[in-house]
Amino acid sequence: MSVIALSAQTLKTLVCPSDKAKENIWDARCKGLMLEVRQSGGRTWYVRYVDIRGKQRQLRIGDADVISLERARKRTDELRSQVALGRDPAEEKAMLKQMPTFAEFVHERYLPYVKGYKRSWHIDESLLRNHLLPKLGGKYLDQIRKDEIIALHHGHRAKGRAPASANRLLILMRYIFNLALKWETPGLLKNPAKGVPLLEENNKRERYLSQEEAQRLYDAVQQSESRMLRFIVPMLILTGARKREVLDARWGDFDLQQRVWRIALSKSGKARYVPLSEGVVLLLDQLRAEHANWPLAQRGSLWAFPNPNTGKPYSSIYYTWDTTRKKAGLPEVRIHDLRHSFASFLINAGRSIYEVQKILGHTQIKTTQRYSHLSQDTLLAAVNTAVDLLGPAFGGPSKAEARK
């Protein structure tokens, strides 16, 4: 080991002794700066320091043929200043090497975690696969910037997607980074999605099927290439259940003797019980007969509405649904609108808002009020009741006419 006042000139003359594999040369003018000269001719700058625990550490600065003496000294001073402030550059560098890429974190940590508790994990997986991983997958978590998050968020909206769809991407990114911070991912210090505002949504649009539209939809469903859609859509309309509640329903959930369907884990997190009408009981009988025609391997499926090819629940029925709604001339109708329509049919038939709340499984009446919808005929009948009571002076029938 030699200590030399290094200069640009002396650097040109330094060689490794022939009897050594390498020689360490210390700079007399810059404390901690060391040049490693190897027998192969390679030369590398290092800095040595003592960390806050009193342990000697060594950190590579870089190739001496690329980094000048002046730059190496400046970098050494910077690193020693960090040490004086209680930081450990070598430890920080080691932590950075442990930093996963966005794709690695998603596949190794996030998806295995959400699959254990989140029923809608397949939606997250689809959003990641189709929108986030192609853009961010190869970046390390700490490389993803807020402006990239904003660009993805607004770019999704610019492609014609609804604000709610764009917001789902942002909420998912925010959640992933929150988990990464919660799990103390080495080197990650902040959530780049934090503080990015959601787009304003207007989800309170009213879309309810009329009886004529419901018939058109039924006719289109019966012509669908997907035989299971012929059972799934009527089940949604006749029960007001949510899509996944139907797709994940098991035969053991139905008590046909008591005429009740037990949904073990509803959106509220509690079990709820849906009464089964005559129409639903008939539908389930027909569904049993349909199962009997399946290949032997799928015939004993535990699920009532599975994919006939696998015997397991569908992850998505979007494409067959999209084809069917367009065929019915109802391209704007969403699957969830069938639930709205069910509530509307009950309200217009004179059932109370509290009965509908119980059937739909809402914890708050306010939610049911949004879904309920009175047709124009029902509203006209309601206002005409006042006219009928007031009598002929206000255009209503006379008492004699009312008695007829």
Is residue 3 pLDDT above 60, yes or no?
yes
Residues 6+ apart with CB under 8 A from 213: 328, 330, 333
Is residue 124 pLDDT above 60, yes or no?
yes
- 373 pLDDT band, cuts 50/70/90, is low
User: Cα(219)–Cα(236) distance, rounded to whole angstroms?
Assistant: 15
Is residue 249 pLDDT above 90, yes or no?
yes
Residue type, 130: N
Range of lowest pLDDT (59-63, 114-118, 217-221, 378-382): 378-382
User: Cα(132)–Cα(333) distance, rounded to whole angstroms?
Assistant: 27
The whole model's pTM is what? 0.53
User: Cα(148)–Cα(249) distance, rounded to whole angstroms?
Assistant: 40
| Average pLDDT estimate for 179-206 | 86
The CA distances from residue 45 to 27, 63, 64, 72, in Å, are: 10, 6, 6, 7
User: Cα(346)–Cα(341) distance, rounded to whole angstroms?
Assistant: 9
What fold is seen in the domain 2-97?
Double Stranded RNA Binding Domain (3.30.160)
3-state secondary structure 21-66: CEEEEEECCCCCEEEEEECCCCEEEEEEEECCCCCEEEEEEEECCC
Render pLDDT for 67-95 as a digit per residue (tens, 0 to 9): 999 999 999 999 888 888 888 787 777 77
User: Cα(19)–Cα(146) distance, rounded to whole angstroms?
Assistant: 55
pLDDT in the model for residue 161: 85
pLDDT in the model for residue 252: 95
Q: What is the mean pLDDT of the chain?
A: 86
* More confident site: 206 or 282: 282
pLDDT in the model for residue 187: 82
pLDDT > 70 fraction of the chain, expressed in percent and rounded: 87
User: Cα(202)–Cα(381) distance, rounded to whole angstroms?
Assistant: 31
| Average pLDDT estimate for 329-337 | 93
Render pLDDT for 131-166 as a digit per residue (tens, 0 to 9): 999 999 999 999 999 999 999 999 998 888 888 889
Cα Rg for the chain, rounded, in angstroms?
A: 35
Spell out the CATH class of 211-373: mainly alpha
